[in-house]
Amino acid sequence: MVQSFNLQGILQSFRVMVSPRLMVPHIVVRDIRDINFEQLHKAGIVAIAFDKDNCLTRPYGHDLHPPFKDAWKRCRDVYKDQVAIVSNSAGTPDDKDDQLAKALESSLQVHVLRHKEKKPSGGQELLKHFDGIKAAKVAFVGDRALTDVVFGSNEGMLTILTKDVVTEEGDNPMAIRVGVISFDGDYGNG
Ligand SMILES: [Mg+2]
């Protein structure tokens, strides 16, 4: 699977230089096991969306990282159908006939957003999916500050950065270089 050149992502990185706070997450966790979904829901976050690669699965994989099984069940129990995945591979125009998106939905049992713009652009497409829910009541979870955190920040969502990636095996080298600048400005995976 070839990941296409993300021009919007590069343009957004220039915007981040002007306004660096766009890439500062509200919450930093080790991985999704550290997210208290019950507490988050009680606090008024009524919908939640996730990045896929390195956050839930290995890059280009369809299966949940096995140690996350219980956490993922808790998330789905709390959020039910108000959970979605926003990937820069599955569900994009690169995903022929939505094959990746369908495989992922079958495996993870949540909706995979079909979207034209790649993160960090396209937040409006997610909000449209969560019909009628204000951005401030939506959390976005991902492992990359420049793509996932900025994606959520652009719309005013709560942003949660996962610091421990599942794996980088098979990932796009450019995506790695551009995407893993962490919230404190360090390069690397933290
Ligand atoms: Mg990722």
Could you tell me the CATH superfamily of domain 7-179?
Answer: HAD superfamily/HAD-like (3.40.50.1000)
Band (pLDDT 50/70/90 cuts) for residue 102 is very high
Q: How far is the CA of 141 from the centre of ligand 1 (A)?
A: 9
Of 75 and 132, the structure prediction assigns the larger pLDDT to: 75
Q: Which of 3-12, 119-128, 140-149 has the lowest mean pLDDT?
A: 3-12
Q: How far is the CA of 80 from the centre of ligand 1 (A)?
A: 22
Q: How far is the CA of 171 from the centre of ligand 1 (A)?
A: 9
In degrees rounded to 5, what are phi and psi of residue 27? -135, 140
Of 155 and 59, the structure prediction assigns the larger pLDDT to: 155
Structure tokens at 93: 């125009």
Close Cβ partners of 59 (under 8 Å, ≥ 6 residues apart): 53, 167, 168, 169, 170, 171, 172
Close Cβ partners of 156 (under 8 Å, ≥ 6 residues apart): 135, 136
Q: How far is the CA of 131 from the centre of ligand 1 (A)?
A: 25
- Which of 113, 117, 182 has its CA nearest to residue 146? 182
Q: How far is the CA of 166 from the centre of ligand 1 (A)?
A: 9
Q: How far is the CA of 64 from the centre of ligand 1 (A)?
A: 13
Q: How far is the CA of 55 from the centre of ligand 1 (A)?
A: 5
pLDDT in tens, 20-66: 788 899 999 999 999 999 999 999 999 999 999 999 999 878 999 99
Assess contact for 135 and 155: CB atoms under 8 A. Answer: yes
Q: How far is the CA of 52 from the centre of ligand 1 (A)?
A: 6
Q: How far is the CA of 49 from the centre of ligand 1 (A)?
A: 12
What is the distance between the alpha carbons of residues 172 and 96, in angstroms, rounded to a whole number?
A: 18
DSSP labels, 26-73: SEEESSGGG--HHHHHHTT--EEEE--BTTTBSTT--SPPGGGHHHHH
pLDDT number for residue 22: 87
Extents of the domains making up the chain: 7-179
Q: What is the mean pLDDT of residues 111-134?
A: 95
Query: Is the pTM above the cut of 0.85?
Result: no
